[in-house]
Amino acid sequence: MVQAIFLALEQGMTGRKYFLSDGEVYQSSTFSDLIHEELGRPWWLRITAPTWVLRIITFFGEYVGRMTGKVTALNNDKYNILKQRNWRCDITPARKELGYEPQLSENNAKSHLSIVERERARCETSKMNSIKIFEIEKKPRKGLLAIEWIILGYMVLTLLLALFMSTKIHNIDPIIWGRFRIAMMMLGLWVVYRLIPCRFTMFTRIALQLILLGIWYPETFEFNRHFPNLDHLFAAHEQSICGCQPALLFSQAISHPVFSELMHLGYASYFPLIAIVTLFYFFKRYDQFLRAEFIILGAFFIYYVIFIILPVTGPQYYYLAAGFDQIANGVFPDMGNYFSTHMEKATTPGWSDGFFYSLVESLHDAGERPTAAFPSSHVGITTILMFLAWRTRCKPLFWGMIPFYVLMCFATVYIQAHYVIDVIAGWISAIVFYVVLLFLSKKFV
């Protein structure tokens, strides 16, 4: 192109248009083969899409563009271009009038592409190397993190509640001394961070809080078990809305082992999804890491407060206590304080020989209690994780999480952990919590 520009200046050409190329004829497969070779010949599948598929995609792309006010990559104009089978770029006029002769052959193009690819790989490597998790921070944070203050507030609030209910709580010592030990661990990690202020020591402070969620969740039962159970009201509302009990019928309608394993896979993906989003922000979006964790952990503790004051156990406990026959007949007895002394749950629906079925059962045996059904924190937290994944603008992260998120939403009802209204409340609460916590994170994080 530079050659053609100087030739045009020398010839005094104005108002003329020329095609510039190496003068060879290529097929679209030639370019895909070149890219394939430069990428190290990975496994691939060449698909030729018919034009009518392209037309549908560009039609919706045009519609989305008009709705959002932004030009999409595939629109009606692009369809008119892409549907053409052949393009003629004749450089004969440039040769005759300017004396232009191409200087970049296909082999040279490959060489240039290899250089570009190597440079891009070098830049990526340099970028990864720039993430030095042990590098001392120039401006370390001096005090406690905003989320640590929230957790301390939760600890004080629930400690006061425990002291107020001390005559009802069987053994209050673990609650008191447990909080003391947790406070000491937080203080110890804060001291370590102050001595070695780097990303790694900051991560340990957040990791501690994520690990301790396994303690805070079952502890909500120690408080709400002393309040009258409300499952009969929620089951009755479920019946009035749906005309049945979806949690009772879902697993009966679809009992195939493969479907069962998919449901339990979705439910078991809860903690891995939290870990994936946390690690992605730590390694790829560290400038937003503390804000993301403030939103995740903040949402957890809001849910815990709700669980304490709203004693709903969910179908897996209530159906067994009330009797499956009564539930099937639309009778929902008030269980009162039954769950203050009973923790038996129904057998989890599904294929009992499945790997993910066994995994979910192990998780339930380790920390599940007749508590925390409304709203569904599993649905709520994973919805918030999806918002955070979308916020990264990393498409592989977001779209990779979508299947597990969808399975999660169905699984909570399939395995009788939640009512449908719990799931709906999980979606609504997630939106509210995310908006509020994002606003607060911009002010305090």
Quote the CA–CA distance of 361 and 268 in Å, as a whole number: 10
Mean pLDDT of 215-237: 95
- Output the pTM of the full model: 0.73
Helix axes 146-164, 289-309, angle to 10 degrees: 10
Nearest to residue 292, comparing CAs of 201, 154, 390? 390
pLDDT recorded at residue 148: 97
Helix (H, G, I), strand (E, B) or coil at 364: helix
Instruction: Report pLDDT digits (tens) over 342-380.
Output: 999 999 999 999 999 999 999 888 888 999 999 999 999
CA distance 334 to 189: 46
Which residues touch 371 (CB under 8 Å, ≥6 apart)?
Answer: 218, 220, 221, 224, 225, 307, 311, 312, 313
> How far apart (Å, rounded) are the C-alpha atoms in residues 380 and 292?
15
Which of 152-161, 194-203, 347-356, 364-373 is the least confident region?
A: 364-373
Closest CA to 317 of 294, 301, 340, 300: 340
Of residues 266, 294, 302, the one with CA closest to residue 278: 294
pLDDT in tens, 406-427: 999 999 999 999 999 999 999 9
CA 439 vs. chain centroid, Å, equals: 19
Asked if residue 375 has a cis previous peptide bond (ω within 30° of 0), the answer is: yes
Measure the CA–CA gap between 246 and 260, rounded to whole angstroms.
Answer: 16
| pLDDT mean over 73-87 | 76
For residue range 164-179, what is the model confidence (pLDDT) as tens digits? 998 888 889 999 999 9
Tell me the average pLDDT across 299-315.
97
DSSP state string for 335-349: -TTGGGT----PPPP
Model pLDDT, residue 224 = 93
- Per the rule left: phi > 0, alpha: psi between -120 and 50, beta: everything else, 323 is left
SS3 letters for 387-410? HHHHHCCCHHHHHHHHHHHHHHHH
pLDDT score of 238: 96
pLDDT at 126: 46
Total residue count of the chain as it appears in this document: 445
User: For the chain, what is the total number of helices (H) and then of strands (E)?
Assistant: 20, 0
pLDDT at 311 over 80: yes
Where does the pLDDT of residue 107 fall: very low under 50, low under 70, confident under 90, or very high at 90 and above?
low
Handedness of CA 69, 73, 75, 77 (dihedral sign): positive
Burial of 13 (0-12, 13-18, 19+ CB in 10 A): middle
Between 100 and 165, whose confidence is greater? 165
Q: What is the DSSP string of 430-441?
A: HHHHHHHHHHHH
